[in-house]
Structure 1
Amino acid sequence: MFMSGLTAIYFTGIGSLMALCFAAYNFIKTKKEDTGSERMTKISELIGRGANAYLKRQYRGVSMFFIALFVILCIMAACHLLSWFTPFAFITGGVFSGLSGFIGMRTATMANCRTTNAASKSLNKGLRVAFSAGSVMGFTVVGLGLLDLTIWYFILNFAFRDLAMDARLVQITSNMLTFGMGASSMALFARVGGGIFTKAADVGADLVGKVEAGIPEDDPRNPAVIADNVGDNVGDVAGMGADLYESYVGSIISTAALAVAADYGLKGVAVPMVIAALGVLCSIIGTFLIKTKEGASQKNLLKALRTGTYTSSILIIIASFFAIKFLLPGHMGVYIAILSGLLAGVLIGASTEYFTSDTYKPTRKLAESAETGAGTVIISGLSLGMMSTVVPVVIVGISVLVSYFASSRGGDFAQGLYGVGVSAVGMLSTLGITLATDAYGPIADNAGGIAEMAGLKSEVRDRTDALDSLGNTTAATGKGFAIGSAALTALALIVSYIDRIHSLDKNFTFNLAVNNPIILVGLFVGGMLPFLFAALTMSAVGKAAEAIVIEVRRQFKEIKGLLLGKAEPDYERCVDMCTRSAQKLMIAPALIAVIIPVVFGMITGPDGVVAMLAGNTVTGFVLAIMMSNAGGAWDNAKKYIEAGHHGGKGSQQHRAAVVGDTVGDPFKDTSGPSINILIKLASMVSIVFAQLILTIHLL
């Protein structure tokens, strides 16, 4: 046979090293670029210092949570409710997830002024520098994810070497699932904390600077402008990196666990890892195809990025065929499932682009609604977001059905569910380049801010604005992509939870009928959870933004000559306020994702947990899409008006669009993308605490 299961695991390790080497290559290449003028370098350093200070404080606070949960897991292990590997897998999952975000953030803060300087030469040069820096994030995430998986596989394989292969794989996959809880926990803190920081600064800067004072975006006179640019990095880069690391490894390990239930053995476990490793190579090839010409329109810029991502998808389609042919011969339905996931990801991205890009009718109609004021902008944006949920739900539904029936040979239930898990891996297989196009956006946004603050020529700002507007669309597409994969991964994790209960108690019988009152209550509680989470995160942004609004007003009033450009604002004060607010306000929403599944499970038992996870997944998926797409459309509608349409900058229509964007900011950058972590973390927590719930439940 061309490839044995063990050879495939080694190949996964090679794939991780290939990704990390390519990330290092792009980091070195980006660092060699010229930083520009002294003023540009100074602004970049201010942003970098603020971002580093925030992450240090965040990691200090999150470490306390990890230590406390590590102790709890150790106590449970001592009581034989968990494997002793679980506490340590939990820690490594969190560390690697946080490290992914940290490396991406450091690269982004290093690349922002270099992108500005590159954009002063040409649009293509600016695109290439920003994208190279974004590639560091993309390939660091996939590289560290595959490295973590490979290391843990060999550790557990050695630890359980005395068991027969089938029994050993059960132990390996069930223990590997637990480090997903660490990755999910870190991702949630990073997304929520970073989202609160960035949107508090953004909303404060826009409401007082643009609407009240009438000064441009990223104007150096605005005290919140540095905090706003810091927020792009800690929220949209560090938070996003931790988020997609968690999505990536979660889809792989949940599918590996399903392979054992489907009796696919080591080769079935290796399939998702090999597909991910092949995706690294395909993504690397795709990155070299991204380039554009001077004066390119948004359609041209989108085409440039799509050339790279679509090429990578075509290559993984070809590579996956041979991977399945050699690893699971006679099971080519699994290949259909991979194609289904890949196609679903592309279609969800296209749907998101249609609803959020100002190239298309929905966002242009949203901009047109600004003619009658902020109220109609908000109503139209909410309507657009709700409407945008239809297509992704249909796509995911079809993908699930195709994946299940194509993989379930002769109606085998376990093999069909394995196909659903594999489709999620297929969707995320080219994450290296997909995440690079997403991470590029905040870098371009920072580059535009530096161009404005450094007083560069208008043509430079025009170029960075074009790159930034493209970044808004790719970021919205990336969020839709992440949410779609989260839905498929969450389905696989729910099945993994059921398998985990059966492995702990073979006599346990689930009663999942809808006339079971426990199931009905579980569905309602699970359906409520994303709304409670969104309410807490939105409220957190509102509270933090209120403080920034008051502070910016105070500085405009008390610092003489500030609005005339004759005095320097106190940037660090706003950065510090955002940091403190984010650290304090992120605790409540993050804890409910951990506490509610355990408490509810201890009351209702495994039946209630399955229903709660189902309700959480369904409403979380739809709510996340609605919020992310509405927010992206509001942002691009504002930029469409700023480009000279419907009155242009400074008009009444522009002010109305800014208000809409103020609502959309926490929608798309705090609550929406955090919900996809919530639905997976709840499943991960339930799996880790399965033995406790099975042992202690009241009903």
Structure 2
Amino acid sequence: MSAVRIGILASPIVAILFFYLFVSSTTSNTIAFTALVISVVFMGISMWMLCWILDKDQGTRAMQDISDPIKEGSEGFFITQYGTIFKLALVCSGLLFLVYLSRSPASGDSKIHHYLGTTSIAFITSISFLLGANCSALSGYAGIWVSVRANIRVAAAARKCYNEALQICFRGGAFSAIINVALAIFGISFMYLFMSFIFYINAPVGAAENPPIEEIPVILVGFGFGASFVAMFAQLGGGIYTKAADVGADLIGKVENDIPEDDARNPAVIADLVGDNVGDCAGQCADLFESISAEILSAMILGGAMAESAGLDFSTKSGFILFPLVVHSLDLIVSTISVFFVKTKPGVPHYTRDYGEIEDPLDVMKRGYYVSLVLALIGLLYICNKFLYIPSLPSASLYFFLCSAVGVLVSFLFIKITQYYTDYTYGPVQSIAHSSQMGHATNIITGLSVGLESTGLPVIVISFSIITAYYLGGATGISDDKGLPIGGLYATAIATMGMFSSGVYVLSMSGFGPIADNAGGIVEMSGQSREVREITDRLDAVGNVTKANTKGYSVGSASLACFLLFSAYLDEVEMLTGQRFRTIDIAVPEIFIGGLLGSMTVFVFSSWAIAAVGIAAEDVIKEVRRQFKEHPGILTYQEKPNYKQCVAIVNKAGLRQMIKPGLLSVLSPITVGVLFRIIGAYTNRPLLGAEVLAGFLMFATSTGILMALFFNNGGGAWDNAKKYIETGKYGGKGGEAHKAAVTGDTVGDPCKDTAGPSIHILIKLLSTITLVLVPLFSGYGGK
């Protein structure tokens, strides 16, 4: 039914756009329309995948009694949370309209004002903001919707066939991943075609065949802002929810009462399982959606600026501007093909305690990942030659392909490095487990050490990728009218796109984790046999690694995307003010102060996010203790705990606590920019606000990258050190080393699932806010 509804909704849109292409067919419109069609096709494929999942067995009545509250709690929190977010988004959209309405044309943007008035630009910017916000919300809802339905089917399949359980779990993640990327392509390509149509009907006489398409991405930055705005609050609210419930359940259940994880006697266990969906599914989907949207738009801006400066003809310029949409269309194709390589031997294996006869799920997923990388490289070679070919510089497309290959390599290295620091088969996690024998303090000390060390290799990889791509771009020979090489910045955008060329597959691995976690909880709480639990335990352990890998991948992609956004910010300031804006001197006191404020924002934001988890967890702990004290029969199975009360407590706390750090992320760059613009007006330095914000962005981005890596990897290492001990090492479950590891895992929880993921959204949100609100911060083009 869902597929039919989508088809009904999409058909008129596609028909109108097809008619427009028939009337005015240009290279740029053809590329954008093709991308739009591919996105719709893959939405249909994802619906087929969803139907395959929904046709599977839903297990016993006891399983469904556990699954139904998880579904109700997850969807209930999502609806309430997004109701709050959309109220804030509507206010923000109105303010955005007023900001753009209040500015007058400047010398740098005279082209666009031949086609659109100030009111039209303001209206389109606010509408694109709302479209980006709605697409982000829809991608998050798709993640939750499939997760709360796939979890019970994975649990049921684990009783019969390991291969089926693995495939359902992975395809559940793949469904939301495909929807995620397809929505980003659909939203941006639709808005591009809409703007192209507006340019066509409003073109001055004789200009309809050569519209300024390089200006379109600048108008559409509101789409990325809307995606970032929703992602921030979704990740914050979901992260606070999931970790407050997790911390409360672990401390009272495992430590104080010595009961297993996901034990049905724990009143907070349903809230914990709900949290996996609202944090790791909805939050992560919204995060990747805004990463992809921001990367597409910033790369389009850079491609348009470079093509215009190089004097490329309209057809060639179209390829450079719309190349990001082509890359993500390629991602949909190669990643979806690779999803079907995730399979192992059918049937139920002979069970052993060390899982010796069960093929490691991570090995199975790696096989598909390697297929996606190979297919991506082949596809990138073709599309670089097809869309980035310059007749006067025939070797340029090869250099751009090498840049994309650098991005693919970075993607691979980030996942490998993250796995090394978070998988218990490697030394760093084992060292934390070993130190747990000495007590709680040594576990924390070693975990901090591992987290801090884990920032080193990723930063080296990021630095290598940026400088390599930049030099390869310079070697293309593309230059401006003064003969200066200008291909470097766009080449870094190509590298970022290469990193995303298998993004759907990586996001599928991320969605695998919470589904496996929920399936394990359902199996445990419904009293299934040890053999069934062994399968879901193995899936859950690997799910922790894939979630950590995706977080590392997200930080890497955020780093490169922020570099693109920063470059796009400089370009937009030049475009909107008509002033040269290339050099930022941090020796200038105001700019240095802006940098300090940027770093401070990251630290304060992290503090508030972690504190929010602690405050919400306190309420959960009090409630669980109360239930155990007033109803002692819960621990002896004579009474059932009140799960709904804990769900309600965390629900309220998650919504209440997300507002403070969320508003900090939105208001801090606006406050800094406006304040220094006023100072600049009094000191006759009209660009001071924009310059100080550039310093703010540089420092916030570099600090945020390091903090996110530390939190994500440190938290993941603490988590898997606990799981390593639970395999039987150092006394196994219930021992003193295990109790110390639970403490470390509890400390790491808000780091890896609340603060860490929120920080890499934070740095992208800061970049998109400054990009979309340039008229507010610059001293030109304002009334």
> Same fold per TM (> 0.5)?
yes
3-state SS in 2 of match to 1:386: helix
Counterpart in the other structure of 2:69? 46
Q: Of 278, 286, 292, which aligns to 1:242?
A: 286
The whole-number CA distance in structure 1 between the counterparts of 2:732 and 2:29 is: 61
Counterpart in the other structure of 1:325? 385
Counterpart in the other structure of 2:4? none
Q: 1:179 to 1:664 in 2, by over 3 A?
A: same
Q: Of 101, 105, 109, which aligns to 1:78?
A: 101
Pairing 1:67–2:90 present: yes
Counterpart in the other structure of 1:615? 699
The whole-number CA distance in structure 1 between the counterparts of 2:273 and 2:36 is: 36
Deviations, residues 136-177 of structure 1 (Å, cap 9, x unaligned): 111110111111111111111111221657762233110122
The whole-number CA distance in structure 2 between the counterparts of 1:204 and 1:503 is: 52
Q: Of 284, 291, 302, which aligns to 2:362?
A: 302
Counterpart in the other structure of 1:29? 52
Give how far 1:411 is off: 7.6
CA contact (8 A) 1:338 1:426 kept: yes
CA contact (8 A) 1:602 1:696 kept: no
Give how far 1:530 is off: 1.4
The whole-number CA distance in structure 2 between the counterparts of 1:19 and 1:669 is: 30
Counterpart in the other structure of 1:114? 153
Counterpart in the other structure of 1:262? 306
| Greater Rg over alpha carbons, structure | 2
What residue ranges of structure 2 are gaps of 5+ in the alignment?
A: 1-25, 105-120, 350-354, 480-484, 677-688
Counterpart in the other structure of 1:316? 376
Give how far 1:206 is off: 0.1
Counterpart in the other structure of 2:747? 663
1:254-293 matches, cutoff 5 A: 254-263=298-307, 265-293=317-345
Q: Which stretch of structure 1 is more off in the superposition, 292-301 or 492-501?
A: 292-301
Give how far 1:354 is off: 0.6
The whole-number CA distance in structure 2 between the counterparts of 1:181 and 1:358 is: 38
Q: Which stretch of structure 1 is more off in the superposition, 167-176 or 605-614?
A: 167-176
Give how far 1:299 is off: 8.1
1:133-282 matches, cutoff 5 A: 133-161=172-200, 162=203, 164=207, 168-263=212-307, 265-282=317-334
CA contact (8 A) 1:248 1:425 kept: no
CA contact (8 A) 1:292 1:300 kept: no
The whole-number CA distance in structure 2 between the counterparts of 1:481 and 1:509 is: 31
CA contact (8 A) 2:96 2:122 kept: no
The whole-number CA distance in structure 2 between the counterparts of 1:166 and 1:239 is: 41
Deviations, residues 182-215 of structure 1 (Å, cap 9, x unaligned): 0001001110000000000000000000000100
Pairing 1:334–2:400 present: yes
What residue ranges of structure 1 are gaps of 5+ in the alignment?
A: none
Deviations, residues 599-622 of structure 1 (Å, cap 9, x unaligned): 101123011011110111101011
CA contact (8 A) 1:191 1:670 kept: yes
Counterpart in the other structure of 2:143? 104
Counterpart in the other structure of 2:114? none
Pairing 1:642–2:726 present: yes
Deviations, residues 63-96 of structure 1 (Å, cap 9, x unaligned): 1101111121222233237632111000010100
Counterpart in the other structure of 1:55? 78
Give how far 1:12 is off: 1.1
Give how far 1:296 is off: 5.5
The whole-number CA distance in structure 1 between the counterparts of 2:632 and 2:751 is: 36
3-state SS in 2 of match to 1:160: helix
The whole-number CA distance in structure 2 between the counterparts of 1:272 and 1:508 is: 27
The whole-number CA distance in structure 2 between the counterparts of 1:166 and 1:234 is: 46
Calculate the TM-score normalised by the size of structure 1. Answer: 0.97
Pairing 1:683–2:767 present: yes
CA contact (8 A) 1:641 1:648 kept: yes
CA contact (8 A) 1:152 1:176 kept: yes
Root-mean-square deviation (CA, aligned residues, Å) is 1.7
- Which amino acid in structure 1 is aligned with residue 383 of structure 2? A
The whole-number CA distance in structure 2 between the counterparts of 1:6 and 1:29 is: 35
CA contact (8 A) 1:259 1:418 kept: yes
Pairing 1:363–2:429 present: yes
Deviations, residues 584-643 of structure 1 (Å, cap 9, x unaligned): 100111111111111101123011011110111101011101100011111111011111
The whole-number CA distance in structure 1 between the counterparts of 2:356 and 2:602 is: 40
CA contact (8 A) 1:166 1:260 kept: no
Give how far 1:520 is off: 1.2
Deviations, residues 84-137 of structure 1 (Å, cap 9, x unaligned): 211100001010001001011011001111100111113222111101111111
Counterpart in the other structure of 1:463? 535
- Which amino acid in structure 2 is aligned with residue 207 of structure 1? L
Q: Of 514, 538, 542, which aligns to 2:586?
A: 514
CA contact (8 A) 1:298 1:359 kept: no
The whole-number CA distance in structure 2 between the counterparts of 1:84 and 1:591 is: 24
CA contact (8 A) 1:160 1:171 kept: no
1:526-541 matches, cutoff 5 A: 526-541=598-613
1:486-635 matches, cutoff 5 A: 486-509=558-581, 512-604=584-676, 605-635=689-719
Give how far 1:529 is off: 1.7
CA contact (8 A) 1:275 1:429 kept: yes
- Which amino acid in structure 1 is aligned with residue 140 of structure 2? G
